[in-house]
Amino acid sequence: MQLDQTPEDLIKKAMRCETVEELMKLAKDNDIELTEEEAVKLLGVMNPKSGELSDSELDAVTGGQDKGGGICRSCGLWFEWMPVGDSYVCRNCGYRKRM
Protein backbone atom coordinates (compact mmCIF):
# COMPACT_ATOMS: atom_id res chain seq x y z
CA MET A 1 0.00 0.00 0.00
CA GLN A 2 1.28 3.43 -0.85
CA LEU A 3 2.20 5.66 2.07
CA ASP A 4 -0.19 8.44 1.08
CA GLN A 5 -3.31 6.27 1.12
CA THR A 6 -5.31 4.67 3.91
CA PRO A 7 -6.86 1.20 3.85
CA GLU A 8 -10.20 2.93 3.26
CA ASP A 9 -8.79 4.61 0.13
CA LEU A 10 -7.65 1.23 -1.18
CA ILE A 11 -11.08 -0.29 -0.53
CA LYS A 12 -12.74 2.58 -2.41
CA LYS A 13 -10.42 2.00 -5.36
CA ALA A 14 -11.18 -1.73 -5.27
CA MET A 15 -14.93 -1.04 -5.26
CA ARG A 16 -14.51 0.95 -8.50
CA CYS A 17 -12.83 -1.98 -10.29
CA GLU A 18 -15.08 -3.47 -12.94
CA THR A 19 -12.89 -6.32 -14.19
CA VAL A 20 -10.74 -9.04 -12.68
CA GLU A 21 -7.75 -7.57 -14.48
CA GLU A 22 -8.30 -4.12 -12.90
CA LEU A 23 -8.62 -5.63 -9.42
CA MET A 24 -5.52 -7.80 -9.86
CA LYS A 25 -3.49 -4.80 -11.09
CA LEU A 26 -4.62 -2.76 -8.07
CA ALA A 27 -3.57 -5.60 -5.77
CA LYS A 28 -0.20 -5.98 -7.50
CA ASP A 29 0.45 -2.22 -7.40
CA ASN A 30 -0.14 -2.34 -3.63
CA ASP A 31 1.93 -5.48 -2.96
CA ILE A 32 -1.13 -7.61 -2.18
CA GLU A 33 -1.15 -11.25 -3.26
CA LEU A 34 -4.40 -12.06 -5.08
CA THR A 35 -5.06 -15.02 -7.36
CA GLU A 36 -7.37 -14.74 -10.35
CA GLU A 37 -9.89 -17.04 -8.65
CA GLU A 38 -9.85 -14.89 -5.52
CA ALA A 39 -10.32 -11.77 -7.65
CA VAL A 40 -13.35 -13.33 -9.38
CA LYS A 41 -14.95 -14.18 -6.05
CA LEU A 42 -14.07 -10.80 -4.54
CA LEU A 43 -15.61 -8.94 -7.49
CA GLY A 44 -18.74 -11.04 -7.09
CA VAL A 45 -19.01 -10.05 -3.44
CA MET A 46 -18.23 -6.37 -4.02
CA ASN A 47 -20.48 -5.99 -7.08
CA PRO A 48 -23.38 -8.42 -6.75
CA LYS A 49 -25.45 -8.81 -9.87
CA SER A 50 -29.06 -7.77 -9.70
CA GLY A 51 -31.60 -6.74 -12.24
CA GLU A 52 -31.02 -7.22 -15.94
CA LEU A 53 -28.53 -9.65 -17.43
CA SER A 54 -25.67 -8.43 -19.59
CA ASP A 55 -25.55 -9.57 -23.24
CA SER A 56 -22.91 -12.21 -22.48
CA GLU A 57 -24.89 -13.52 -19.48
CA LEU A 58 -28.04 -13.65 -21.60
CA ASP A 59 -26.17 -15.58 -24.29
CA ALA A 60 -24.89 -18.01 -21.67
CA VAL A 61 -28.34 -18.61 -20.18
CA THR A 62 -30.07 -19.00 -23.55
CA GLY A 63 -27.35 -21.17 -25.03
CA GLY A 64 -25.73 -18.55 -27.26
CA GLN A 65 -22.19 -18.72 -25.89
CA ASP A 66 -22.52 -21.58 -23.46
CA LYS A 67 -24.02 -24.77 -24.83
CA GLY A 68 -25.57 -26.33 -21.76
CA GLY A 69 -28.14 -25.94 -19.09
CA GLY A 70 -26.74 -23.18 -16.90
CA ILE A 71 -25.49 -25.41 -14.11
CA CYS A 72 -21.78 -25.12 -13.42
CA ARG A 73 -20.02 -28.42 -14.13
CA SER A 74 -17.74 -27.93 -11.16
CA CYS A 75 -19.89 -26.71 -8.25
CA GLY A 76 -23.31 -27.82 -9.53
CA LEU A 77 -24.91 -24.45 -8.80
CA TRP A 78 -26.78 -22.23 -11.23
CA PHE A 79 -23.93 -20.39 -12.86
CA GLU A 80 -23.17 -16.72 -12.78
CA TRP A 81 -20.44 -16.50 -15.44
CA MET A 82 -17.99 -13.63 -15.57
CA PRO A 83 -15.96 -13.07 -18.74
CA VAL A 84 -12.22 -13.13 -17.97
CA GLY A 85 -9.83 -12.98 -20.92
CA ASP A 86 -10.82 -15.73 -23.36
CA SER A 87 -12.89 -17.68 -20.82
CA TYR A 88 -15.97 -17.51 -18.66
CA VAL A 89 -15.39 -18.04 -14.94
CA CYS A 90 -18.06 -19.25 -12.51
CA ARG A 91 -18.46 -16.65 -9.74
CA ASN A 92 -19.43 -19.39 -7.30
CA CYS A 93 -16.36 -21.65 -7.54
CA GLY A 94 -13.91 -20.17 -10.08
CA TYR A 95 -14.41 -22.94 -12.69
CA ARG A 96 -13.10 -21.73 -16.06
CA LYS A 97 -14.72 -22.45 -19.43
CA ARG A 98 -13.31 -21.30 -22.77
CA MET A 99 -15.52 -18.95 -24.82
What is the extent of the structural domain holding 77? 51-99
Three-class SS state of 55 = helix
DSSP 88: E
Looking at residue 28, its pLDDT comes to 93
Residue 55: predicted pLDDT: 63
Q: Which of 5, 53, 44 is nearest to 23 (CA)?
A: 44
Q: Looking at the structure, do residues 79 and 96 belong to the same domain, yes or no? A: yes
What's residue 42's pLDDT? 87
- Are 75 and 31 within one domain? no
Res 1 pLDDT > 80? no
Q: Are residues 43 and 67 in the same domain?
A: no
pLDDT single digits (tens) 24-76: 999 999 999 999 989 888 888 777 666 666 666 666 665 554 444 467 777 77
Helices and strands (H, E) in the chain, number of each type: 4, 3
Q: Is the domain of 57 the same as that of 79?
A: yes
- 87 by Cβ neighbours in 10 Å (0-12 / 13-18 / 19+) ranks as middle
Please indicate, yes or no, whether residues 40 and 3 belong to a single structural domain of this protein.
yes
Sign of the dihedral through C-alpha 44, 34, 29, 8: positive
Residues 30 and 57 in one domain: no
Is there a single domain that holds both residue 19 and residue 39? yes
Domain count, the chain: 2
pLDDT reported for residue 33: 93
Q: Which residue stretches of the chain are H helix?
A: 7-16, 20-29, 36-46, 55-62
Predicted confidence at residue 75, as pLDDT, reads: 79
Query: In this structure, are 44 and 75 located in the same domain?
Result: no
91 and 58 together in one domain: yes
Same domain, 61 and 26: no
| Domain co-membership, 63 together with 99 | yes
Q: Quick one: pLDDT at residue 8? A: 84
